[in-house]
Every structure is written in structure tokens, then in C-alpha cells.
Amino acid sequence: MNCQRFQKELYEYLDEALSPAQMAAAKAHLLECGACRASVRREQQLAQSLAGALEQNAETIAPDAEARRDLAQAVQRKIAAAVEPAPIPWWRCVAMRLTATSPVFTLTPLLTALALAWFFFGTHQSTTETSRMAERPTTGAVLVNVSYCAPNYTFQRQGNMVIDALTCEARVVNGSLLAKN
Amino acid sequence: MAQMDMDQEKLAAALKARDPAAMQQLVEAFGQRLTRSAYLLCGNENEAQDLAQDTFVEAFRSAHRFQGRSSVYTWLHSILLNLTRHYRRKRKKLIYDNELAAQEISAPEEHPSALDVDCAATELAQALQRLSEPHREVLVLRYYERLQIAEIAQSLGVSPGTVKSRVHYAIQEMQKLLPAEMNLFGAGGTNEMETK
């Protein structure tokens, strides 16, 4: 190891962060190089004096037991203020916003769409079971009697709570279809 | 490093679980040293206390990001450094009074060889606050926190070579800011600095 290499690794030598082989080479170099030994002494003296002065300066604000307690309380207060509440699902936000204007709010458009979907796609099976096809009249018209269930989804706000309820209303539709000749 | 014998793994796990008792333990263990370090970085006691408080709050918020690759204190100190930088950016820099500096420099010393710790702490603190932010940070980390070069590099997110360079130039700058009779290296030490 030469002086240039040692100077480059001076801090690692002082930190004892060199590999065993590098450390042995550094020590061997120090035995034969007075300038590098002086560098090590200089750095050690600097560390000692600077650390001492910094410690002394920092201790001017030495927190006592009361100050530590104040720090802990201040941290707890800030944490309590900073911690955000658990996230609210988007649909609950919408419901709360809607119910804020009216205690009982019916989602008319959505439920209408649901009822129509139920009628057209979900009631074919039940139609065959529950509806009664009237007897084919001699005039060629067909009487249709359909009963179906319309869901009704409501939200109600009570204090900070939102209570939702799903009810089902039975409906009957009568009509007649003209038969094609 | 203070109180490094505490079970850091359990402490980190408790922090991630947002256990208030863990935060209490953290403040008890590191609050004093962190406040002092903040004081050296910002130079104001009230701001140092605020910075220390905010460091713990930020640690509580971001506990899930702690990977355990460094000690809990090193992690806390990284948060403190970030907050201090943010704070300094927002604060208007103090204008140094050159006349006052001249008076300080001209103050006589009876034993002007090595740095007298008892008398020099104030001058050194003032000089520290006049250093650039990167230089001040490396000096505090190296000579107050007594971190190794590799640890400082990890904490600052720079290469070890950059840290060594900053330490070197920070000491040169500090020496220039100190009164002429206050030699950081002892008698006849400054000339060696130039050859390093």
C-alpha cells in the first residue's frame, strides 16, 4: 500500500471498515510512513476535539425528565391529530351525501333499472311458474297476467350511521296480446 | 449509539402495528439525542424540539417503510435530516453580521494551540450554522452521531466517496470560519489539510 492509497482509505481505516487483508496492509504501511501516521493522529485529534465541542454545544439544551415527558405528550398529540380515520367506501360516501339532503332517499333511477332488468331477464322462469296465461279467447287475443317482485333499496341516516334496507314489493301486471293470424 | 441494545425488531413491528406504547418507548429511548442532533442541525432550541416531535410523528406514519436495513435511530435521523432540509428551505436565511464576526475573530486567546473545548463550543456552533447544508450534515453525522462513512452514505443517499469529500471540505470551511487562533487540528495541523 502506498501513501495515496492509504489516504484514500483513511476514513475506512479509522472506522475499522477495511477487510482483514486491507487492514494488515494499512498497518504495515503506517509502520514505515511517518506522514500517514501524522494524518491518522491529526484525524483522531480532530474527531476528539470536534466531537467534544459538538457534544458540549448540544448539551446546552439537555432535556430533563419533564422535557422528555413534554416531548412524549407533544408527539402523542400530533399523532392523534395527524392520523387519518379509516377510509370510507365510495358507495357509503355517496349514500351519506345523498342522505344528508333527505332522511330517506330512494335511488329511483337505479331501482327502476333493476326492476326493468328483473322484469325482462330475471322473471322468465318465474313467469312460467307464477303467471297464468289466460285461456286463449276465441277472438284471437291473449290475456297475460304477470306478477313480479320489484326491489327497493333505501338508505337512512341515524346520527353518524347509515342504515340501508332492501325490501321487495310484489306487483301484478295484466295485459292482452293480439294474436297474429 | 444510545440505547441500541433495545429489541429493535420488536420495536419496529410494534410501530408498524401503530402501537402507542412503541412510540412512547421510541421517544424515551431516542428523544433526547434526536433533539440535540436537531439543535446542531438547525441552531435553534424551539425549532429543534419541533423537528424532533415531527420526526417521531413522521416515523409513526411511515413505520411500514422501515426495512430494518439500518438501526432504528439511523432511520429516525434520516427522517430528521429530511425535515430539517425542508424546514431550512422554508426559512429565510439569517444574514451574518460581518462586523460581529470580525470582533469574534479578534478576541485574544491565551493558549491558541489546540481547540479548547470549554471555550470554543459557542464559536463552533456559530460556524456550524454558517456552513452549507451538506457540509453541516456530514459534520454532525460524522463527529456528533459518530457514524461510519458507509452509514452516512446510506443515510444521505450518496456514495462513500462523496461523503469523504464533503467531510474534507466541510472541515476546511469550518476552519476558515473559526477564529485564526482556534485550530481544529492542534498546533501546525492546518498545513497537512492541504496535502490530503
Q: Which residues of A touch B117 (CB under 8 A)?
A: 49, 52-53, 56
Decide: B102 and A37 in contact? Cβ < 8 Å.
Answer: no
Q: What is the mean pLDDT of residues A78-98?
A: 68
Q: Which residues of B touch A50 (CB under 8 A)?
A: 115, 124, 139, 143, 184
Q: What is the mean pLDDT of residues A81-109?
A: 63
B124 touches chain A (CB under 8 A): yes
The mean-pLDDT minimum among A79-83, A99-103, A152-156, B98-102 falls in B98-102
Chain B residue whose CA is closest to A48: B143
Q: Which residues of A touch B128 (CB under 8 A)?
A: 54
pLDDT, tens digit (0-9, with 9 covering 90-100), for A45-83: 888 888 888 888 888 776 677 777 788 888 888 877 766
Looking at residue A85, what is its pLDDT? 57
Residue B30 has pLDDT above 80, yes or no: yes
C-beta atoms of B115 and A49 within 8 A: yes
C-beta atoms of A68 and B31 within 8 A: yes
| Minimal Cβ distance to B186: which of A45, A55, A76 | A45
B75 touches chain A (CB under 8 A): no
A39 touches chain B (CB under 8 A): yes
Looking at residue A135, what is its pLDDT? 47
Q: From the CA of B155, how many Å to the nearest CA of chain A?
A: 16
Q: What is the mean pLDDT of residues A4-11?
A: 89
Residue B128 has pLDDT above 60, yes or no: yes
pLDDT band per the 50, 70, 90 thresholds, residue B105: very low
pLDDT, tens digit (0-9, with 9 covering 90-100), for A99-147: 665 555 556 666 777 888 887 776 555 444 444 544 445 556 777 788 8
Query: Domains in chain B, please, with CATH?
Result: 8-90 (1.10.1740.10), 98-190 (1.10.10.10)
CA distances from B189 to B28, B127, B138 (A): 41, 19, 21
C-beta atoms of A50 and B184 within 8 A: yes
pTM of the entire predicted model: 0.61
ipTM reported for the complex, 2 dp: 0.71
Q: Which residues of A touch B154 (CB under 8 A)?
A: none
Q: Which of residues 48-107 of A touch B (CB under 8 A)?
A: 49-63, 68, 71-72, 74-76, 78-79, 82-83
pLDDT, tens digit (0-9, with 9 covering 90-100), for B129-180: 888 989 999 999 999 999 999 989 988 889 999 999 999 999 999 888 888 7
